[in-house]
């Protein structure tokens, strides 16, 4: 009896079906691998190139760090240069403002105006308002303003340098100037062109009204205007900061 050297018909049919399936799956895996690798080795090549990638990234990081250092140095240099220019510019501006602000001494030809109240007897005998025969803050301010309008480079009142923040205030029969009280006579000196200042002082309407009360019977307020060959206005040495009232916290 002959031996059974071949598999049964059922098993042969299984292999005929399984073999093509295995071939198809293998081809699919190869295709996927080829697409993912994009033509490069997915294993050995990647491990071999990793060191090169690290070195390349390290070299690039070193180059960028050096570039940052160079740019930082350049920025610091430009900032220092800008700072020097800013300081120099600020110093130049301060230098140009110190003089007109009244912080330097000024000397030169001047005009002096002296204002004084009428005598006590004249005020008692006066039939009008006794306040007409006393010097008020607006009279002193009018003298200073007329001098400024005529181009005065410096003005003093009672020897004090007048600046933009100088306040003149009447308190009773005295005038307070920069916190100090003064009684008449009030002496105002303007340094500048005497002719221009005298012309302005003569035509100022407020001062013209003031002079109307100099000729009152029995004596009125006094007005004396004198040209000085030279006078000196000291530098202002008081406070420069402005202060103001603030509400009390509840």
Tokens at residue 239, please? 């406070």
Instruction: Give the Cα separation of 119 and 111 in Å (integer).
Output: 25
Instruction: Give the Cα separation of 144 and 192 in Å (integer).
Output: 12
Instruction: Give the Cα separation of 171 and 179 in Å (integer).
Output: 11
Q: Are 36 and 42 in contact (CB under 8 A)?
A: yes
> Rounded to 5 degrees, what angle do the CA atoms 146, 152, 158 make?
75
pLDDT tens digits, residue range 67-83? 877 887 777 777 666 65
Between 19-33, 45-59, 127-141, the lowest mean confidence (pLDDT) is in 19-33
Q: Are 191 and 233 in contact (CB under 8 A)?
A: yes
Instruction: Give the Cα separation of 124 and 121 in Å (integer).
Output: 5
Residue 36: CA atoms inside 13 Å, Cβ hemisphere, count? 9
Mean pLDDT of the chain: 76
pLDDT above 90 covers a percentage of the chain that reads 30
Q: Is the pLDDT of residue 226 over 90?
A: yes
Between 50-59, 121-130, 136-145, 198-207, the lowest mean confidence (pLDDT) is in 50-59
More reliable by pLDDT, 135 or 71: 135
Predicted TM-score of the model (pTM): 0.59
Instruction: Give the Cα separation of 218 and 239 in Å (integer).
Output: 43
Q: Is the pLDDT of residue 11 over 80?
A: no
Count the Cβ atoms, other than its own, within 10 Å of residue 149: 13
pLDDT above 70 covers a percentage of the chain that reads 64
More reliable by pLDDT, 40 or 164: 164
Q: Is the pLDDT of residue 112 over 80?
A: yes
- CATH code of 106-233, in short, is 3.30.70.1880
The pLDDT value given to residue 113: 97
CA 141 and chain centroid, separation:
31
Residue 188: φ, ψ to 5°? -120, 130
Instruction: Give the Cα separation of 54 and 235 in Å (integer).
Output: 72
pLDDT (average), residues 236-249: 70
pLDDT (average), residues 88-113: 73
Tokens at residue 8, please? 């049964």
pLDDT (average), residues 52-72: 73
pLDDT tens digits, residue range 175-224? 888 778 888 999 999 999 999 999 999 999 999 999 999 888 878 899 99
Q: Is the pLDDT of residue 230 over 90?
A: yes
């Amino acid at each position: 009896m002959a031996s059974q050297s071949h598999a049964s018909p059922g098993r042969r049919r299984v292999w005929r079906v399984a073999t093509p399936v295995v071939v198809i799956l293998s081809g699919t895996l190869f295709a996927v691998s080829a697409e993912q690798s994009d033509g490069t080795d997915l294993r050995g090549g990647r491990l071999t190139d990793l060191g090169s990638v690290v070195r390349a990234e390290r070299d690039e990081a070193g180059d960028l760090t050096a570039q940052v250092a160079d740019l930082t140095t350049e920025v610091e240099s430009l900032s220092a240069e800008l700072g020097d220019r800013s300081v120099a510019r600020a110093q130049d501006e301060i230098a140009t403002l110190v003089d007109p602000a009244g912080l330097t001494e000024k000397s030169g030809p001047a005009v002096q105006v002296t204002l004084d109240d009428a005598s006590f007897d004249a005020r008692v005998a006066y039939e009008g308002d006794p306040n007409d025969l006393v010097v008020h803050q607006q009279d002193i301010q009018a003298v200073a303003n007329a001098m400024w309008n005529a181009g005065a480079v410096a003005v003093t009142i009672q020897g004090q340098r007048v600046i933009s923040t100088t306040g003149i205030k009447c308190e009773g029969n005295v005038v307070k100037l920069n916190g100090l009280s003064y009684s008449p006579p009030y002496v105002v000196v303007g340094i500048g062109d005497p002719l221009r200042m005298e012309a302005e002082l003569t035509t100022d309407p407020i001062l013209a009204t003031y002079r109307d009360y100099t000729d009152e019977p029995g004596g009125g307020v006094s007005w004396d205007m004198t040209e000085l060959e030279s006078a000196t206005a000291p530098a202002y040495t008081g406070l420069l900061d402005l202060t103001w009232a603030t509400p009390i916290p509840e």
